[in-house]
Structure 1
Amino acid sequence: MRRLLVLVALLLAWSAMPARADDISASGRGVVRIVTIAMVNDEVVGFGHGSGFAVAPNRIVTNAHVVELASRYPDNVVIGVVPSEGDKSFQGKLIRIDKARDLALIEFTGVRLSPLTLFTGTPAEGDALIALGYPGNVDVATVRSAADFIRPQSPVRSQGGFAGFRMLEGTSVLLHTASIARGNSGGPLLDRCGRVLGVNSAITRADEGDATFAFAVAGKELAAFLAEAKQPMGQVSVPCTSVEEQIAAERDADEKARAEADATARSNAARTESERQDAIAQARSRSSVARENFMAGAAVMLVLGALALGGAGLLLSRGSQREAIWVAVGGGVLMVGSVALFVSRPGFDESKVMPVPKTTDAAALAESARGRLVCTLVPERSRITVTATDKVDLDLGEDGCINGRTQYAEAGTHWQRILVPDQEQTVSVLDYDPASSIYTHTRYLLSSEQMSKARSLRKGVPLKTCSPDQAKRAELATQQQSIRTALPAVYNEKLVYRCAAAAEGPPTAATK
């Protein structure tokens, strides 16, 4: 027993070097070495090791043959789980094994790992695949003592191609050319985005110069095994898109949006000018009719005034002086009115003509960018690697208060919040653009060292709830910028949603 305690005490380690900021390195932080130590009468009688990967923060999948001794002799075999980061290793417990599929599920406590995501689609023949694990031939060259097997270190990666599906002893397997060896058993086979395609389990013999091929238990077998164990695992079906391809697609989309905006602006300008010319023509026509009416009225009044003066003269010649005076005055008034009416006829100045604004849906669009919103994923603008969320409900309040509890800060014309959780190796940048009603969730899968730095920066953010105080929001924006500066230049996942006003009724889901 004393020797067992000594071996357990050796589960201390040096701090691993930070993994590279790419999808495979991010997945590698959820890969572990599995060590089995067999004891009889306090004597070590057997030692083995393989690989595994997290399907939950505290649960690991590996091959059944890696932990077969533990299943046969549970009281005499200790299972060690050695993460790729940190300074400790942990004891595991076998909770399910399927020898037919060559899969096993191990539970442990003491640390939370980043679970990997299962890709449920089908790779095409020739697609690039990556194997992660701890090959024994590398250990033979580098290990100097038993302690090296239980010292955390990053997994070894190797790349190959997908060569098709096969059946191996009744189990569906992927045939591939990534280089693996003893010790890789139980490690994940990944696509370029770091999603699990299968569980590496065996290799062919290279007799007389034959090429070596490897087998991995297919993802559908893994999904069935986990379903039987009632163990959830994240799954996505969207094909892998590299960051470079996504950035190029975003650039093309931005250029297309700018071109469409320019075309819309030109169309609107042409329509406005056409409407103005129509308004000018209508105004000129109305002005012409009005001028003609004024001139006709003036002519009629002039004729009537002349007739009145003539009548006054006739009355005067007949001795009706009083009546002649009144008729003459009336005629004079008519003639003066005729002159005034002619002089006051309306003119035409086209510079003062403005078209009547037409009712548009701009107000409706502006209104739809506030209040309760339903945001739907736009797959062609997203890079999906570990998350499968088709819809997000938002309740956009005043001053960037989201869902009544989370304060977003101004970032130009956008509202933005950066989330740094305590229990996950992920930093999320949440961004909402009121002008376009676009909501974006960008995820960075970070190493332990990077997360520690981000968490230390987060401690300086005092604003935890919604606030109408603009000064506090400005301080939040400044502090978030310091976190943003510490993030890698390239993200791991970007989910883009288009938002619209929600139907009446209570929200069905919410985001932070």
Structure 2
Amino acid sequence: MGRFLAILLTLWALALPSFAGAEPADIDASARGVVRVVIIGEDGGELYPVSHGTGFAVTSTMIVTNAHVVRDAMRDEDLRVGIVPSGGADAVYGQIVAASSRNDLALVRLTGNLRLPPLALSGGPVASSGEVTSVGYPMNVDRAQGLDISDLFRSQPPVKSRGFVSGERPSRQFDTILHTAPIARGNSGGPLLDQCGRVVGVNSFGADNDGGDAEFFFAVSNRELVPFLRANNIEPRLNEQPCRSIADLEEAERERLEREQAEARQSLAERAEATREKRERAQLEAQLSVAHDREDRMALAFILVLVSFGLGLWAWSQRERIDPEAEDAALRVKKTNIAFALAGFLVVVALIAFLTRPGLDEVDRRVAGLMAEGEGDGDRPLAGEEGGDLALTCRLVPERSRVTSAETPDIEFDWTTAGCVNERTQYGYAAGNWSRVFVPNDEDAVSVNSFDPDRRTFRSERYLLPRSAMTAAREARAKYAAPQCGDDGAATKLGDLQGEVLSQLPQQPNERLVYECVARD
């Protein structure tokens, strides 16, 4: 009976739909732009929190939240909106720019610089039954942790909870997403993220849970959020690319390389067969040609010898008939001498023709000549084979890329054989790869750009790091000064210098952009 039950459970498990888990690194990266929104009052010079919710950055200075989160501050001028980031920076005040009670959205401008990374919005439809993650500051978690109400002003990481999309439906006259990623009081205004960490909605409220019914929650959909932002002169960072994991990309890349290698082997085999057939034809043609030439030379030599022999006999017979006393004797002797000389010349020419007839080694030379005909008319050599500088336009290859941001413009790319890009940026060379590491001071992200001049492929990988990891990366980057283009040994030197920064990066990037480059007109 137990064995039978185990089989049934196994079959039941196999029948369930399989969902790919969200990328933790992407959710963590998006959480950097999530903030706690605190409504603050003042009593006798002392600040105290009235209520709180969640918000997230749509630009470096603008926060989206729910209208009901900031409703008290809109009604009471004495109340202020505080923005508390998760990354350890000091809290700042916010100014309400716009609020829409119809779809429960509000826009808040920061009065200080928190260097928040804006979240990208998913531009595609929400996948039914797709996995989603709620990110925010639920009040019940604060209570469970024993946090005092004054602790709301301290930077703390937001809470993440997973669930699945249950559908899209209109509610309260606006579009919502029904999902099962748990939220509570305090989560209002926080983002609902897809598996790539892109916003698919703004969490707003939950369904009543009477009598132990399953809990469902509602988020304002992007079909409401995008027009709201544009109406307030903010162009959202929309990303319409499909959500794919790095593991999926690497598997697809392995399959692509295997396919290319198989095609290359097939092409090599076809070229080898074509070369063999061409050589056989050239061998036959060369043998026939040499045979004809040998026969022609030998025939020519034979004819010349016959002519020379006949001419010599004629000259000999004429000399025997010359009368020394005759008046024309000298002239006739001269003619016979000319005839003998001509006969000797013809013998020499015949000997030369015979000796210079093509030998068997001429067959190999003619085969080599025939095989060389048409070479150089094949495919254009690759950049590395050309060995010259390149002026390229690089375009994104979506099927080979994982895009978590929204900006993927074409890239104008000038490359020199010494690894200098656009006459100003030196790339490092190490382990057979050209790369450059960028560690900006105004963004919590490390970019590693690489270029393969042989395949004309440019790749940019971005690592969205927490502030502690960014601090370590900046400290490692500050230890060296990148060599300038044209410096002696600049490429290999930079390749060694970048090693410490690269060693601190996670195993996988959050974003990978792969570009194919073509010669620029």
Structures share fold, TM-score greater than 0.5: yes
Asked if 1:447 is matched to 2:466, the reply is: yes
Partner of 1:81: 83
Contact 1:82 1:89 in 2 (8 A): yes
Equivalent runs, 1:61-100 vs 2, <5 Å: 61-74=64-77, 76-100=78-102
Within 5 Å, give how 1:215-230 maps onto structure 2.
215-230=218-233
Match of 1:508 in 2: none
Q: Is the 8 A contact 2:430 2:492 kept in 1?
A: no
Structure 2 unmatched runs, 5+: 1-22, 324-331
The answer to whether the 8 Å contact 2:49/2:152 transfers is no
Counterpart of 1:498?
516
Aligned pairs (5 A) from 1:53-452: 53-74=56-77, 76-108=78-110, 109-319=112-322, 322=333, 323-349=335-361, 350-352=363-365, 353-354=367-368, 355=371, 356=373, 357-363=375-381, 370-452=389-471
Matches of 2:48 and 2:265, distance apart in 1: 76
Deviation at 1:100, TM superposition (A): 1.3
Matched residues in 2 for 1:449 and 1:272: separation? 61
Shift of residue 496 of structure 1? Answer: 0.7
Correspondence for 2:500: 482
Distance 1:36 1:187 in 2: 15
SS in 2 for 1:239: coil
- 1:390 Cα deviation after fit: 4.2
Counterpart selection for 2:476 from 446, 449, 457: 457
SS of 2:489's equivalent in the other structure is: helix
Larger displacement relative to structure 2 (87-96 or 134-143): 87-96
Q: What is the identity, as a one-letter code, of the residue corresponding to 2:498?
A: Q
Q: CA deviation at 1:408?
A: 1.6
Query: How far apart are residue 253 of structure 1 and its match?
Result: 1.4
8 A contact 1:52–1:62 mirrored in 2: yes
> Given the alignment, which residue of 28, 36, 50 partners 1:47?
50
Deviation at 1:23, TM superposition (A): 0.6
Contact 1:119 1:237 in 2 (8 A): yes
Deviation at 1:40, TM superposition (A): 5.4
Moved more, 199-208 or 473-482: 473-482
CA contact (8 A) 1:118 1:219 kept: yes
Query: Structure 1 residue 102: deviation in Å?
Result: 0.7
Aligned-partner SS, 1:417: strand
Change (3 A) 1:478 1:463: same
Q: Please say if residues 461 and 476 of structure 1, whose CA atoms lie closer than 8 Å, have aligned partners that are also in contact.
A: no
- Whether contact under 8 Å (1:198, 1:218) holds in the other structure is yes
The whole-number CA distance in structure 2 between the counterparts of 1:264 and 1:165 is 51
Distance 2:87 2:183 in 1: 22
Helix, strand or coil at the partner of 1:277: helix
Change beyond 3 A, Cα 1:120–1:209:
same
The aligned counterpart of 2:9 is: none
* Distance in 2 between residues matched to 1:485 and 1:428, nearest whole Å: 13
Q: How far apart, in 1, do the equivalents of 2:406 and 2:173 lie?
A: 31
**Structure 1: distance between partners of 2:297 and 2:148:** 112
1:473–1:154 Cα change, 3 Å: same
Q: Could you tell me whether the CA contact under 8 Å between 1:425 and 1:448 is conserved in 2?
A: yes
Cα deviation per residue 1:52-82 (whole Å; 9 max; x = unaligned)? 11111222111111111111113x1122212
Work out whether residues 54 and 189 of structure 2, in 8 Å CA contact, stay in contact via their aligned partners in 1. Answer: yes
Offset, 1:370:
4.0
Q: What's the TM-score, normalizing by structure 1? A: 0.88
Range with bigger deviation, 113-122 or 352-361? 352-361
Shift of 1:176: 0.5
**Aligned counterparts of 1:139 and 1:240: Cα–Cα separation in 2:** 32
Identify the range of structure 1 (276-285 vs 194-203) with the bigger mean alpha-carbon deviation. Answer: 276-285
Spell out, residue by residue over 1:388-431, the C-alpha distance to the aligned partner (whole angstroms, 9 max, x if none): 31422212245222222222222455432111111111111111
Closer, same or farther in 2 for the Cα pair 1:461/1:148, shift >3 Å? Answer: same
- Identity among equivalent pairs (%): 37
The amino acid across from 1:409 in the alignment is: G
Q: Distance in 2 between matches of 1:265 and 1:484?
A: 38
Letter paired with 1:116:
L
User: Retained in 2: the 8 A contact 1:120–1:220?
Assistant: no
State which drifts further: 277-286 or 432-441.
277-286
Stretch of structure 1 that moved more, 41-50 or 123-132: 41-50
Distance 1:364 1:155, change over 3 A: closer
Aligned residues of 1:413 and 1:433 also touching (Cα < 8 A): no
Deviations 1:242-276 (A, max 9, x none): 12211111111121222222223333333333333
1:172 deviates by 0.5
* Partners of 1:392 and 1:247 in 2: CA distance: 23
Return the TM-score normalized by structure 2.
0.87
Give the Cα separation in 2 of the matches to 1:43 and 1:484.
Answer: 47
Q: C-alpha separation between the residues in 1 aligned to 2:117 and 2:223?
A: 21
Alpha carbons of structure 1 residues 429 and 232: separation in structure 2 relative to 1, 3 Å: same
Q: RMSD value over aligned CA atoms?
A: 2.3
Question: Equivalent residue of 1:25, what SS?
Answer: helix
One-letter code aligned to 2:139:
G
Query: Displacement of 1:141 after TM fit?
Result: 0.7
- Deviation, 1:294, is 0.8
CA-to-aligned-CA distance 1:425-473 (integer Å, 9 cap, x gap): 1111111111111111111111111111111121133236x42123233
- Given the superposition, is the C-alpha separation of residues 473 and 369 from structure 1 closer, same or farther in structure 2, using an over 3 Å criterion? closer
Partner AA of 2:419 in structure 1: G
In 2: Cα distance, 1:391 partner to 1:398 partner? 22
One-letter amino acid of the counterpart of residue 360, structure 1:
G
Residue 367 of structure 1: how far off its partner (Å): 6.5
What is the DSSP-based 3-state SS (H/G/I as helix, E as strand, rest coil) of the residue aligned with 1:399?
Answer: coil
Separation in 1 of the partners of 2:418 and 2:230? 44
- Alignment partner of 1:393: what SS? strand
Q: 1:40 & 1:102 partners in 2: Cα distance?
A: 29
Alignment partners' CA distance in 2, 1:244 and 1:375: 24
Q: Secondary structure at the match of 1:207?
A: coil
CA offset digits 1:99-150 (Å, max 9, x no partner)? 1111111222132011110001012211111111111111111133223222
- 328-337 or 172-181, which deviates more: 328-337
CA drift at 1:46: 6.0
Cα distance in structure 2, aligned partners of 1:362 and 1:274: 24
Judge conservation of contact 1:368–1:501 (CA < 8 Å) in 2. Answer: no
- For the Cα contact (< 8 Å) 2:428–2:490, is it kept in 1? no
